Structure 1
Amino acid sequence: MAITQQQLLQILPQARAVAGFFVPALNTAMARFKINSPVRMAAFIAQVGHESGQLTRMVENLNYSAARIVELGNASAPSTRWRSLVPQAKAIERNPRAFAEAVYGGRMGNDKPGDGFKYRGRGLIQLTGANNYHAAGAGLGLDLVNHPELVEQPDTAALVAGWFWQSNGLNELADSGQFAKITRTINGGLTGQADRVALRDLAAKVLA
């Protein structure tokens, strides 16, 4: 089963400028990773659609104002990395490289200076951290460690998302209707769940 460009745009209308690139990329990835039923496809399209701003954002936005850093930091638990950014807010605002190092440096395999920015979130399911780039690259037979920018391209972005989906058992969660658990696996929480559910329901209707 494949998705057509018309169907994709019914679900993700903001993707009009890039749909021609993503339809074949998504179909290739979904076939490879057995995202091959309406329920699996609806869950997958909904999640990658939400995560990527309807296929329009392939790189994590790290251009935060000091006020936003403070707001997010104060809303986080005291021991989290986000909370630790509050005293640095002025120093790292509007500086994506400095921000990435403060958030991601020294963890997720980011052990060299600059790794936080080099391995920032990319793709349809925000691949983040050197360890994850290595794992995805090994799983797909691609050198994503030395060429992380490949994840910004539709073909690779779709393959990485499909690899992540299958590797984390998300097909089985979709089959059993555990959509919230899919979101937690991808997001770590339920951020944006209302939009994800709305996209899933729309996709299910379009693909039926």
Structure 2
Amino acid sequence: MPGKTFRGLSLARSAVVLAVGALLATLFAVPASAADPVGRITGLGGKCVDVAGASNANGTPVQLYDCNGSSAQNWTVASDGTLRALGKCLDIVDRSTADGAPVQLWDCGGGANQQWVVNSARDIVNPQANKCLDVRDRSTANGTRLQIWTCTGQTNQKWTAAGTSGGGNPSPSGFVVSESQFNQMFPGRNPFYTYSGLTAALSAYPGFANTGSDTVKRQEAAAFLANVSHETGGLVYVVEQNTANYPHYCDPNQSYGCPAGQAAYYGRGPIQLSWNFNYKAAGDALGINLLADPWRVERESAVAWKTGLWYWNTQNGPGSMTPHNAMVNQAGFGQTIRSINGSLECDGRNPAQVQSRINNYQRFTQILGVAPGNNLYC
């Protein structure tokens, strides 16, 4: 019998069980043994794949629910291509292949309605139906039933296993954005802005994208990167492009002056750090003498990223709070814009620039599989 082509994978029917199990294990970053831990599987709104009432009775609905660390959200992947919780399998009701068929918990029987493949796009797919695990009506409400549906690429069909990020590629740094997601966000980025440089900089501000719920962590990472993208043309520009501005960024009234030169403190890095007093403050905070050597921000990727994180985590700018606090305390993405460039953009001053930042944020939250939240505008 000829092989069956399935979303770019050719699986001979006799080898489906073995191949599906191996692929699940590989993309969930665990070995393909009898039953290896995956832990929680998060999706829309940062919520978890959950067994209703933590019941292992046949027919128990599988739903979306706040992540709580319970056994009802502790999944394993088996070498036979099944996903298991509470000793039973994720199962499509009545072996249906129709859009909208709900999923449930059921005794593991080896049927095709209990087989799942995880692909690099973070879809969990049933090969028999050639359909994706889907959050019904794109709702983030607790108790929303999960189902299968024609694969659309939408966020309500994107999943991330604990210990993995973005297509199952582990992020050793623990950062909520995987390298593959970072590359997806910035396909045309300057090679200077490395993912390793970003993750190396995280140690300077360990609370960044690491405070609050999984949803808040992802929202903060998306918000930071969205503003960075706007400031740098998609991580293309390392230095300010208008060289005529360069001499303007020296405030001679500061007691320390401008030891690197009148025109040395132009915009650099992901937040386009500028002015001698900002280089002095950032350098003091980071333990780097940026006042004497501001060029380090354009020479060293990790230093550049650290300056961006310094501003994000410690500076109110023209706003009333740091961008970090705006996201952690649920003030909303709009307040991060206000803290970065609110005096020029917010309150109707430049709505096109505000919208550009929001568009980036909405795109990045979609990549991270999380809702953008409220209060997007400033």
- CA–CA distance in 1 between the matches of 2:204 and 2:250? 33
Alignment partner, residue 95 of structure 2: none
Instruction: Map 1:56-75 to 2 at 5 A.
Output: 56-63=236-243
The structure with more radius of gyration: 2
Contact 1:115/1:130 (8 A) holds in 2: no
1:43 paired to 2:190 = no
Greater shift in the superposed pair: 163-172 or 38-47: 163-172
Q: Tell me the TM-score normalized by structure 2.
A: 0.42
Alpha-carbon distance change, 59 to 42 in structure 1, aligned in 2, over 3 angstroms: same
Q: Work out whether residues 197 and 302 of structure 2, in 8 Å CA contact, stay in contact via their aligned partners in 1.
A: yes
Deviations 1:5-57 (A, max 9, x none): 32112222221x527x5211222334542222101101011011111111121
Number of aligned residue pairs: 171
How far apart, CA to CA, are the structure 1 residues paired with 2:273 and 2:252? 14
Aligned residue number for residue 73 of structure 1: none
Q: CA deviation at 1:173?
A: 0.4
Gap runs ≥5 in structure 2: 1-173, 210-216, 316-321, 370-378
Instruction: Give how far 1:106 is off.
Output: 3.9
In 1, Cα distance between equivalents of 2:333 and 2:283: 27
Aligned CA RMSD, in angstroms, stands at: 2.4
Output the TM-score relative to the length of structure 1.
Answer: 0.72
Higher helix share: 1
1 or 2, which has the higher strand percentage? 2
Q: What does residue 314 of structure 2 align with?
A: 167
Partner of 1:157: 304
The residue that corresponds to 2:249 in the other structure is 104
Aligned residue for 1:204, secondary structure, equals helix
Q: Give the drift of 1:108.
A: 7.6
1:183·1:189 contact (CA, 8 Å) conserved in 2? no
- How far off is 1:104 after superposition? 3.0
Q: Which amino acid aligns with 1:18?
A: P
Of stretches 168-177 and 39-48 in structure 1, the one that deviates more from structure 2 is: 168-177
Q: Secondary structure at the match of 2:277?
A: helix
Deviation at 1:116, TM superposition (A): 4.1
Percent pairwise identity: 26
**What aligned pairs does 1:179-190 form with structure 2 within 5 A after superposition?**
179-187=333-341, 188-190=343-345
> Is 2:250–2:265's contact at 8 Å kept on the other side of the alignment?
no
**Is 1:205 matched up with 2:350?**
no
Q: Alpha-carbon deviations, 1:150-208, whole Å to 9, x = none?
A: 11131111011111111032122023143222112212432522121111111111112
Deviations 1:65-122, CA, capped at 9 Å, x for gaps: xxxxxxxxxxxxxxxxxxxxxxxxxxxxxxx3xx433x33446848459844111111
**CA distance in structure 2 between the aligned counterparts of 1:186 and 1:107, rounded to whole angstroms:** 24
Q: Tell me how far apart the structure 1 counterparts of residues 253 and 236 of structure 2 sit (CA, whole Å).
A: 26
